[in-house]
Structure 1
Amino acid sequence: MASQHGGWSLFLQLPFSLGRFGVLACLLPASSLMTSRYPNSGELWMPCVKRRLIPSDLPTSNGYLIVEANGGLNQQRLSICDAVAVASLLNATLVIPIFHLNNVWRDPSKFSDIFDEDRFIGTLRQHVRVVKELPKDVLLRFNHNISSIPNMRTKAYSSPDHYVQKVLPKLMELGVVRIAPFSNRLAQSVPSNIQALRCLVNYEALRFAEPIRVLADDMVVRMMKKSSLAGGKYVSVHLRFEEDMVAFSCCTYDGGRKEKIEMENARERSWRGKFHRPGRVINPEANRRDGKCPLTPLEVGMMLRGMGFDNTTFLYVASGKIYNAAKYMAPLRQMFPLLQTKDTLALSEELAKFEGYSSRLAALDYTVCVQSEVFVTTQGGNFPHFLMGHRRYLLGGNAKTIKPDKRKLVLSFDDPNIRWSRFKHHMLEILHHSDIRGIAFRKPNDSIYTFPMPDCMCQQDGI
């Protein structure tokens, strides 16, 4: 309940009047924050992954590698990139990854429904062999049942040595091995050639399938046209306030009986008793203080207004189906009357073929966010982590991202006596902390997909 009381008390302090858009508009100074890069650090970094991977004739394959990618779009993306890396370590032929039907995402899409299969295979042809399916003679040895192929269960973040010592002998014995599930199954720190291969897959080989790509590109053009008064510049926000996210967080929002029943049903539907196991303690207030609760649309709007983004800001909101959207989205739309989503940028008939396919819809959001001037992340997860890395890769390592400290945000939101001037001061401090990050290099345990420098990018005058 604290999130609602704090957010609403601030919302009511804003000086509203009828603006030029015919809706309630906050009278605040025009934003000067629309720049895609941080101040020039004197370093210019460019993608150079192809220079770091030397094409060569591939040796005879040791056999076939089958992996099962689980989760949503970007968890699948992670699995695909790591699968190619493992195939290289094993000198194996990778079979196009199988997508597991997830209880939460419920998307039956295959690889070719989301990604361009031919481009994937062609881009990697001089580095790793990839085939669309297991040869019939190999499948015959296992009675045409992939589940009969030995599953080399592997711990999360396993080292390259593990694959060479434990998986390779079985691969050479049988000619084929399977690893399922395959998510986060390769260590972050691997040899430089393997890191470069991961980047080649993520940034060059993985291109969305044509139906996704065509509509996504059209949506970017439409968003730029709508924001033409701002030079085609817009801010994208990844808003994680879907029912499953709210339920998983175990946080309390309006605190009513209806919310409680809906959240209990959602948790049971997707996680079947996980939250009622013996010894499990759920403490919504502690979760909120620790910054673990998804921000409401109201809180996101208040944060952005406090940072200086005014009612003329062109905002693109990337999300799944927002929980209780009629209630929770209304204040955000009031604060940002130029707000767009995939449902407003695309025609209903254009979206119809993607309905029921959460990963394909997420791919549309991903494309529009990559092209935005500023990206705002409000919750952890693979989507913002991959997007931040992709934007760094495309924008010389210096793409502008706002990643707020949610523990500090909560202190301001939940203060019932805070005045707008003080709140704005706090938001500007949080923005400054996010701004000073600028150029960021990968540390040993960081993800290459979030921090592509220096493994996959070079200074302009270096290698």
Structure 2
Amino acid sequence: MQILPLFSKHKVVHFNKTDARLANNGISLDLQRLRCRVNFQALKFTPQIEALGNKLVHLLRDKGPFMALHLRYEMDMYAFPWWREKEIVSEERRSQGLCPLTPEETSLVLQALGFDKDMQITSDQHLLMLAVLSSLKVKIVMENVKKFHLHLEGVCKNDPRTILLLCQVKKEILLDPKELQQFHNHSSQMAALDFMVSIASNTFIPTYDGNMAKLVEGHRRYLGFKRTVLLDRKKLVVLLDLYQNGTVTQNDFEVSVRLAHEKKMGQPSHRRVIVDKPKEEDYFYANPLECLCEQRDCDDLLGLGKRNSSEVSS
């Protein structure tokens, strides 16, 4: 009775202990599930964003299955995380899996995972980035952008590293410029469109696990463990180097990449807990396990039911 009057007056109520920065774990089951209902069901974008986002999704689905590629290969990914350090050993950072994959590395991994030219890929990158995807021969499937299509083909044909033909689509190409006019200079609103498309995609692949990637991952789990490929950058950089220097064959490279990601497809998994180090443990909204199963069913969901039964019987 104390909450309802406040909600009626202010329309928005902030519940304590619901912010991920405060706690991922050690919270009652009821409160954890409330967080899920608020984040994954109650919160909505503005009607304008919802309408345009839904239109984007319909346009993509009309063309067939599509993948959302969160290609975080941007200057800020390098500048801000390590700005306190005057000297950065790039090779060391990369070997630790702390760098997003380059466009060329990404294309090699996509090919190894079995994505072919018939799969649409929607990216959140700018048009300039599409033009410099050195190892992707980009084909835009929309008829009204033939000039852009030809420009990209010319760029790719001149690059000897071009190895893969993929359909890559952007919201700026799918939509009329007038429809996006209201969102210009509003990066968060543009990101909201990317978020909606990422949630709806058949497959979501982030090349770097930032905040948006984690939110999309968790939302897709909540919707029934939709396919989300969580790239193991630490393993991948080793495999990529071995392949690119000729140490391993393409077939061995592809087999190794697939084996490394068998259990990284967004399927049910435990959330990693690190006591007293909340920033290093798994993000609650990326894997809200408490909201995805009843207590007695969690072991079965995680594939632990049979193992536990055999342990008891033995």
Asked if these proteins are the same fold (TM beyond 0.5), I'd say yes
Q: Which residue in the other structure is 1:326 paired with?
A: 131
Pick the structure with more helix per residue: 2
Change (3 A) 1:248 1:331: farther
Aligned-pair CA distance for 1:248: 3.7
Aligned pair partner of 1:311 in 99, 117, 120: 117
Task: For residues 224-268 of structure 1, give each alpha carbon's deviation from its aligned partner in whole angstroms, at most 9, with x where no partner exists.
Answer: 0112xxxxx222211101222243467xxxxxxxxxxxxxxxxxx
Deviations 1:36-82 (A, max 9, x none): xxxxxxxxxxxxxxxxxxxxx23698xxxxxxxxxxxxxxxxxxxxx
The answer (yes or no) to whether the contact 1:237–1:316 under 8 Å persists in 2 is yes
Decide which of 197, 210, 214 is 1:381's aligned counterpart: 210
Q: In the alignment, which of 251, 258, 278 is matched to residue 428 of structure 1?
A: 258
**2:259 maps to amino acid:** E
**Structure 1 residues 210, 336: closer, same or farther in 2, change over 3 A?**
farther
Q: Who is 2:240 aligned against?
A: 413
Asked whether the equivalents of residues 199 and 448 of structure 1 are also in contact (C-alpha less than 8 Å), the reply is no
Letter matched to residue 364 of structure 1: L
Change (3 A) 1:439 1:332: farther
The 3 A distance-change label for structure 1 pair 345 and 458 is same
Contact between 1:442 and 1:453, CA under 8 Å: does it hold in 2? yes
- Relative to 1, partners in 2 of residues 1:331 and 1:249: Cα closer, same or farther, differing over 3 Å? farther
Distance 1:58 1:457 in 2: 30
Q: Which residue of 1 aligns with 2:55?
A: 218
Matched, 1:401 2:228: yes
Normalised by the length of structure 2, the TM-score is 0.73
What secondary structure is seen at the aligned counterpart in 1 of 2:261? helix
Tell whether 2:33 aligns with 1:196. yes
Report the secondary structure of 1:379's partner residue: coil
1:5-37 Cα distance to aligned partner (Å, 9 max, x none): xxxxxxxxxxxxxxxxxxxxxxxxxxxxxxxxx
Q: Which residue is equivalent to 1:288?
A: 94
Q: d(CA) in 1 for partners of 2:4 and 2:62?
A: 52
Corresponding residue number in structure 2 for 1:167: none
Q: Aligned-pair distance for 1:380? A: 1.2
Q: Is the 8 Å Cα contact of residues 375 and 401 (structure 1) preserved in structure 2?
A: yes
- Give the drift of 1:322: 7.2
Alignment of 1:46-85 (within 5 A): 57-58=1-2
Residue 105 of structure 2 corresponds to 299
CA contact (8 A) 1:307 1:427 kept: yes
Deviations 1:403-425 (A, max 9, x none): 12111111122231143222212
Does the alignment pair 1:453 with 2:289?
Answer: yes
- What's the CA shift for 1:218? 0.1
Letter in 2 for 1:355: H
Alpha carbons of structure 1 residues 60 and 411: separation in structure 2 relative to 1, 3 Å? closer
- DSSP-derived class of the 1:432 partner: coil
Q: 1:380 to 1:462 in 2, by over 3 A?
A: closer
Q: Determine the structure 1 residue equivalent to 2:147.
A: none
Partner of 1:187: 23
Name the CA shift for 1:186/1:305 in 2 (closer, same or farther; >3 Å): same
- TM-score, with length taken from structure 1: 0.51
Larger radius of gyration: 1
Who is 2:171 aligned against? 342
Distance in structure 2 (CA, Å) of the matches to 1:130 and 1:462 = 39
Q: Contact 1:242–1:322 (CA<8 Å) still a contact in 2?
A: no
Equivalent position SS for 2:69: strand
**Contact kept in structure 2, 1:239 and 1:378, CA below 8 Å:** yes
**Percent identity (aligned):** 29
Cα shift at 1:185: 3.9
Q: For residue 161 of structure 2, what is the aligned residue in structure 1? A: none
Residues 351-401 of structure 1: per-residue CA shift (max 9 Å, x gap): 121111111111101111111111112101111111111111112xx2211
**RMSD of Structure 2 on Structure 1 (CA):** 3.1
Question: Which has the bigger relative contact order, CA under 8 A and spacing at least 6?
Answer: 1
Aligned residue in 1 for 2:159? none
Secondary structure of 2:264's aligned partner: helix
Q: Distance in 1 between matches of 2:217 and 2:115?
A: 20
Q: Distance in 2 between matches of 1:240 and 1:450?
A: 18
State the partner residue of 2:70: 238
SS in 1 for 2:136: helix
Residues 385/185 of structure 1: CA separation in 2 closer, same or farther (3 Å cut): closer
Classify the secondary structure of the residue corresponding to 1:353: helix
Question: Structure 1 residues 293 and 448, CA, compared in 2 at 3 Å: closer, same or farther?
Answer: closer
